[in-house]
Chains A and B, each alone.
Chain A
Amino acid sequence: MRVFALLSKELADLRRNPAVFLPAVITGAISIILPFFVAIIVPYVTGERLSDSSDFRVAIDMYRSQAGSRRLDPEGAIQAWIFQQFLLLLVLTPIAGAMSMAAYTVIGEKQARSLEPLLATPISTFELLAAKVLGSLLPSVGLSVACFVVYLAAVAAVANPGVFLILFAPRSLAIVFLIGPLAALVALQLAVCVSSRVNDARSAQQMGALVILPLSGLLVAQLTGNVELTLPVIVLIVAVLLLLNAGLMRIGIALFDRESILTRWK
């Protein structure tokens, strides 16, 4: 109950200060536009089809070998491949949203001197941190889902027939609804851990941003064909993220030292 009480405050605060969400909106927009630029706009403007380039042969071969995508024409297969690879970029949207908010969750309270009266209530450290994390995570995931819906709608509207169905599949849904939120949660918890110990929101943001590095690596590995995000790989990533989150929650509670926050922060 107390978690929801503080969560309602966090969301009300966000409604009054939506600008804090701008980095996430920009990230989401770029994540949506970039693959369309590569798969649709560039071929349209240059008049050269992607399937004419040997660079994308791997995509055509891959989709021909799978029963569900065998009916795609060569251009559609390449489009499906590009849209699937760039789907990982959408995962950055909730992370960017979470990061822009999370760093201020504890530090902001301290700077506004609103943490001491809050700590004087019966709220526990777990409840406080849970509300802070959810307050950043839920809007970020909401934005991410909205971006995914726009992404799918745009694919349905402008991509070749059949590409939409390739994207609207368990693999894509797992990336957006599992890897995205869990990676955002890792970033958030890192930021909250750091923001419990420092007085500078930027330090917390930088630490949380570290999560972007392995995801970027994954994106590159995927594009170069070194890694394929098959369902077993996704399950493995999800398991690792779950473990990381469980560990970070424990560390976060241990690091959130009420006494230090009250007596050492000036």
Chain B
Amino acid sequence: MATLAAAHLTRRFGVRTAVEDVSFELAPGEIFALLGPNGAGKTTTLRMLAGLIEPSVGAVSVDGKPMSRGNAAMLRGKIGFLTEAPGLWDRLTVRQNLTVYARLHGLPDQRRAVDATMELFGIRDRADEFAAQLSKGLKQRVALARALLHEPGIVLLDEPTSGLDPESARDVRGLVLRLRDERRAVLLSTHNLDEVERVADRVAVLRTRMVAVDTPAALRARLFGVQLRVRLAQPAEPFITSAVGAGVSDATAEGQTLSMAVDDAVVRAPAIVRRLVAAGADIQTVAAAEPSLEEVYLRLLESGERPAAP
């Protein structure tokens, strides 16, 4: 059973539709990335999932229970939400910030929970520092600790590495991966495609409506097919006709490189190599080329592809 499910979520603000008919499910131990340009409705979607705002149409379910006005407070306790800004109380220490949240969540042994969380996030030595004194990276780390203090099964992260230096961003990515290992369901809203490439199991592209949902590999294959690139010792142009054959739908030449769209690089590569060698080509390298997730993302936004099954 899905830990978190969004069914036909639509949210209107007056005449403006911020999110329309968005559906997907999130399983335990899965990192699901929500991509989209500014104003695509990512934060609105997260707020609906976190029970902060109600959908105009559609429903959110947590552990199979539909969220309603009556149970939203209770279900919010099962969700950890890292908001876009850390939103720490600057005049309180790190420990005080976390302790207030431990009490708000009604944790039984608050001191132990706070200590354990600070230990886990490597901020124990900063426990008595005021939040205002922390660097941006540390604030984000404390905010993440705060979101996970009550050990929620569902974690919603809104731009968790935005504005962080590479080292801090790497630390946050490490923490996100650890959440997957702990079998928590993680929804990550971000602009950082590199980050998504590194951590996400599935990707959703949102532009008010859901443009596509799938694994990064499946989206690549669907949009670009698999590209095989063969570098020759001589100009590639004369070998285009030799390259095209069974399983190769298209071939182009650029300098000494032949690029071919194939259905399966591993299966087709030996026959292609044989044909090129037979035609007199001197082969230097053969490699399967993957388009970057950025190319996939931009292609999806350009094409406005209709939603895939979640």
Contact = CB atoms under 8 A, between A and B. Distances in A.
Interface of A: 1-2, 4-6, 8-9, 12-13, 16-17, 112-124, 258-259, 262-263
Nearest to B77: A122
Nearest to A120: B81
Contacts of A112: 87, 89-90
B52 A116 contact: yes
A120 B88 contact: no
Given A1-B103, A5-B104, A123-B104, A117 B73 contact: no
Contacts of B52: 116, 119-120, 258-259, 262
Contacts of B146: 117
Nearest to B18: A263
B76 interface: yes
* SS class, residues of chain A in contact with chain B: helix
Contacts of A116: 52, 83, 85, 87
Contacts of A113: 83, 85-87
Contacts of B105: 121-122
Interface of B: 13, 44, 47, 50-54, 73-74, 76-77, 79, 81, 83, 85-92, 96, 100-101, 103-106, 130, 143, 146-147
Nearest to B106: A1
A16 B77 contact: no
B91 A121 contact: no
Given A17-B91, A118-B87, 4 more contacts: A120-B51, A121-B76, A122-B104, A259-B52
Given A2-B106, A9-B89, A259 B100 contact: no
Given A13-B92, A124-B73, A114 B53 contact: no
Nearest to A123: B104
Nearest to B143: A117
A12 B91 contact: yes
**Among all A-B residue pairs, the 6 with the closest Cβ atoms:** A5-B103, A16-B91, A113-B85, A114-B87, A120-B81, A113-B87
Nearest to A124: B73
A127 to B, nearest CB: 9
Given A13-B89, A263-B13, A2 B103 contact: yes
A9 B103 CA distance: 11
Nearest to A15: B91
B53 A121 contact: no
Contacts of A258: 52-53
Given A262-B53, A263-B13, A122 B74 contact: yes
16 contacts: A2-B104, A9-B100, A12-B91, A13-B91, A112-B87, A113-B86, A118-B87, A118-B104, A120-B76, A121-B77, A122-B74, A122-B76, A123-B104, A124-B73, A263-B13, A263-B47
Contacts of B103: 1-2, 4-5, 8
A173 to B, nearest CB: 35
A151 B232 CA distance: 98
A117 B77 contact: no
A8 B105 CA distance: 15
Nearest to A2: B104
A131 to B, nearest CB: 10
Nearest to B96: A12
Contacts of B44: 263
